[in-house]
Amino acid sequence: MIITDTHTHLYSDAFDEDRAEMIQRAVEANVTRFFIPAIDSSYTESMLQLEKDFPEHVFLMMGLHPTSVKDNYKEELSLVTDFLAKRKFCAIGEIGIDLYWDTSTLGIQIEAFRYQIKLAKKYQLPIVIHCRDAFDEIFEVLEEEQSDDLFGIFHCFTGTLEQAQKAISYNMKLGIGGVVTFKNGKIDQFINQIDLKHIVLETDAPYLAPKPFRGKRNESSYVCKVLEKLSELYGKSEEEIASVTTENSKAIFGI
């Protein structure tokens, strides 16, 4: 059984004390594919080191996270552009809109999101979307930018059934993580109405740990708890869900 974590910040300083051991725990639990989202240039060196240390397991994205869209965003986007011209990445991400932390930057967040979508189309790469308190704004951009060559993952999906169906209509898979195990997470109430072909697994480690680790540091091995919950909700074996979601991740990332 191969399990894929499509979204994990393994370079986070939360893992500085035990990164190798934490990755080993995941590998021993059959979690052997780690897709690593970018945040901004301050993390690039750590990401590249991670890939160097674990070349068989780690696959890097490139992009500018919406909460890092600040006054210097054009400079940051220029660095993203330069890196994409220099070497191969598996996706543009994580990109999108976050109105939870700061609504004043909405205009430049939309600009950065749209710019990076165009980069994804240019390099024929998937996008990995970060959406917080911004479904309408994200959908508006996707509506304008939609095309056969725009596809990817709606990371950490926490919306309604209707929003899930809308995201899927824009060629997006749904990234399902620890929230599906929460009592108040709500997506557990309808997720089994979504065909498994639209689902990928993720942790968003070190954030959003699933039950029974909620509130603690998340790590990639905990994606097994997400797998367990989806097995229960879909009435299918963990092996089947692991297989289908890993195939879905291969279809998206081409790896």
Task: Return the CATH number at 139.
Answer: 3.20.20.140
Q: How many domains does the chain have?
A: 1
Tallying the residues shown for the chain, one arrives at 255
> Looking at residue 130, what is its pLDDT?
98
Domain that holds residue 177: 3-253
- Structure confidence at residue 183 (pLDDT): 87
Residue-level pLDDT at 185 = 84
Contact 172, 154 (CB under 8 A): yes
Please report which helix (H) or strand (E) contains residue 32, including its range: strand 31-36
Alpha-carbon span 149 to 5, nearest angstrom: 24
- State residue 6's pLDDT score: 98
Residues 62-99: b if buried by 16+ CB within 10 A, e if exposed: bbbbbbbbeeebeebbeebeebbeeeebbbbbbbbbbb
Contact call for residues 253 and 91 (beta carbons, < 8 A): yes
- What residues in the chain have per-residue pLDDT under 70? none
The predicted model scores a pTM of 0.97
**Closest listed residue to residue 121, CA positions, set 149, 90, 96, 81:** 149
